[in-house]
Structure 1
Amino acid sequence: MPVRISSPASSLEAGPSRKSQVHRAPASSEDEEDELIEEEGWTRDTFENRTISKNTTAAIPMLRGMMDKLKDVISRIEEGLDNAKETAVALEDSKQDEPSIAEVETAFFRALDQRQLLQIRIEILEDMINQLRAGEEYSDIESAYQEVVTTRETEYMAKSQRAKYKNLKEYADFRSALWEINHTTACPPVSQWLEKDADEESDDDDFDMGGATQSYKCPITLMLFKDATTSSKCGHNYSREAIMNLIDNMRKAKRASKCPVTGCSAILDKTDLKANPSLQKRADEFDRRQKRREEEKEEADETIALEDEEDFD
């Protein structure tokens, strides 16, 4: 996403020697912008780039506006990641190791890549803002931006799957959600599902996500989540009514509302709690699978008992 610098209404101090106030009233559309420029004696033919510094009107707000738009796109991508995980879980639940899960995983990887590329751009824009505030000047801000973007994006895309995804919580959650459908043991390290370059050094000693099972029990009630709720401070999960009651009781006792998870020291407030419908859905599906397995086990035990009786007769 290039930084637009071809219009004085956007951010730059440029144009004819006559003083213009156009930059003080940002245009609401490109047509309105052109009209304002012409009214003030500006034209795209007479426009020439000038140096941008921290004193350039609207330069920093413009960059911040770009960052906000990129963050909005990232939010939509993360919604897509959740949907992809749910799709993969449904496929695995219908048939173990369903081949089409590979296609969902490929789409999941693409979304992770797109999110990271956008995050790279956000970081670059943030760096440019800090540099402007520190007194840096840009004679051609668009070229400077694109040069850094190209370099960093190329570096990222050259990495192997293992280098890009093995330490991502989202991918660990994706694999753990699939694993728990047909297994009762902890999910193995996620690197076993990721390709690495032929010349990539062994990373056996590196940190690797995985190896844990998701708990669907509230740490307060020790029962399956009801209206699953997550703390934005520490990331721990609870049943909504249980955690709300705990906070209320602690307030009445004039004590700090400490997170009830063992080893966590976060102090909670009701404003820190966010509904987690995705987790609740997974908890309900987990409960359904557990009940199905118990029914299948009972049926198998009855069948064995009947066969034993027949053999005895």
Structure 2
Amino acid sequence: MPVASSSRRKSTRSRREPSEDRIEEDNPSQQTGNNDDVEGGDDEEEQPRRRVKQEKKTQKKTRRDSESDNDPPRVVVDDEDDRIDIENFYDQPLDKKESGKLSGIAQDWEMIRKQIHQGSFSLAKEVATSLADVLEGDHANEALSEVDEIMKKLIDIDYEMQSHEKSLSGMYQQLMRGEPVEGAIDLYDKEVKKRINEFNDRTTRKKYGSNDQYVQFKQGIFEVQNPGVNIPPINDFIPREEGDESDDDDDLEIGGVTQDFKCPITLTMLENPMKSSTCGHAFSGNAIRDYLARCPPAGKSCPAAGCSERLTMAMLVADSSLEKRVKLAARRAQRDEYDSDADDGEVIE
């Protein structure tokens, strides 16, 4: 095989050397080590990442500088980690498409409020009636006063939760009317605080005298301690304060209602009582079922004397609280009768 002469090999080597020099000139950073991207020992894969990140920062700054002062702040998303730039985030107006969310949150408040306080109110009323049955004198007054304060605090908390619910419902109604809600967070906070402050500024009578839960609470105590006696207005149990003289006609005193523990149908003590949700009269369970058996769709008139309300079985609910009060009142009446008989039979020498 022919062999290249030494002169030819020399010529070939001389042609290759200039090309290597050109490569070195095109990439001087690889030799000098003065490039900032390489400082600190970064590897070759890290270099392009640093340059891309620097370019993104420059682009963001350029966009912010180009925006007019009158333009709303722009929400900038970092493409690298998909995080929102909180500093540039702002409270955007709500429109009608957001109304469903507000309605759902308001319903959540209502559900939580009912679940929590339905049991709490019932427990407070049962404890109060039990104490009224077993205690007398100063011991009874002291114990019932403590339960009374607990009942009032429960009503305060219940109203606070209603304030959240009603504030959200008001914003929902505003959106449904086609009116956008500006500054939703601030509007919500202000409305809740406004409602709570208005409630706190009321007198004690205005806070609790017309509250159904508190009325039932005081009635239960009175019925056990005074069986068969007419219940005075609830406001008679609440001291008058400055401002009560100007009560509106809507804030009428609630009370003066006597809970008769006898069934209007059987004229005997209530058994498994059921109460009408319309007129409030109570009946023994079996008696009212027999009375309304095969009744027309419109129902029958209430069997209580002087009541013209129409009744159906759908309007009646079992009342376990009333059932317990009936038993306590019956036991107290028996005890009073026993004490009276003992006094009559006492022999004086």
After TM superposition, the score normalised by the length of structure 2 is 0.68
- What residue is the counterpart of 1:292 in the other structure? 335
Residue 52 of structure 1 aligns with an amino acid whose one-letter code is L
Separation in 1, partners of 2:83, 2:310: 57
Q: What are the equivalent positions in structure 2 for 1:1-313 lying under 5 Å apart?
A: 43=84, 45=86, 47-54=89-96, 56=97, 59-75=98-114, 76-97=116-137, 98=140, 99-183=142-226, 184-198=228-242, 200-201=244-245, 207-251=252-296, 256-303=299-346, 306-307=347-348, 310=349
Offset at 1:218? Answer: 1.6
- Identical pairs, percent: 28
Structure 1 stretch displaced more, 281-290 or 123-132: 123-132
Q: What is the CA deviation profile of residues 268-310 of structure 1, one whole-angstrom value per residue up to 9, with x for unaligned ones?
A: 332332221111111111111112212222222212xx33xx5
Measure how far apart 1:195 and its partner are: 4.0
1:129-170 per-position Cα deviation (integer Å, ceiling 9, x unaligned): 111111110122121111111112111112221221122232
Instruction: Tell me how far apart the structure 1 counterparts of residues 261 and 218 of structure 2 sit (CA, whole Å).
Output: 16
1:216 is aligned with what amino acid? F
Q: Which amino acid aligns with 1:70?
A: W
Q: Using a 3 Å threshold, how does the CA distance of structure 1 residues 115 and 293 change in structure 2: closer, same or farther? A: same
Larger Rg: 2
Per-residue CA deviations over 1:154-200 (Å, capped at 9, x if unaligned) read 11112221221122232222222222333353233322332444465
Query: For 2:223 and 2:276, how far apart are their aligned partners in 1?
Result: 24
Write the distance in 1 (CA, Å) between the matches of 2:182 and 2:188: 12
- In structure 2, runs of 5+ residues without a counterpart are 1-72
- Residues paired across the two proteins, number: 269
Give the Cα separation in 1 of the matches to 2:237 and 2:103. 38
Change (3 A) 1:220 1:199: closer
Where does residue 12 of structure 2 map in the other structure? Answer: none
Between Structure 1 and Structure 2, the one with more helix by share is: 2
Specify every segment of 5 or more residues in structure 1 that has no aligned partner in the other structure, as ranges.
1-13, 19-37
RMSD: 3.0
1:106 CA drift (Å): 0.4
Pick closer, same or farther for the CA change 1:235–1:185 going to 2, 3 Å. Answer: closer
Q: Alpha carbons of 1:124 and 1:270: their partners in 2 closer, same or farther (altered >3 Å)?
A: same
Q: How many angstroms apart in 2 are the aligned matches of 1:228 and 1:267?
A: 18
Give SS of 1:238's match. Answer: strand
Distance 1:299 1:39, change over 3 A: farther
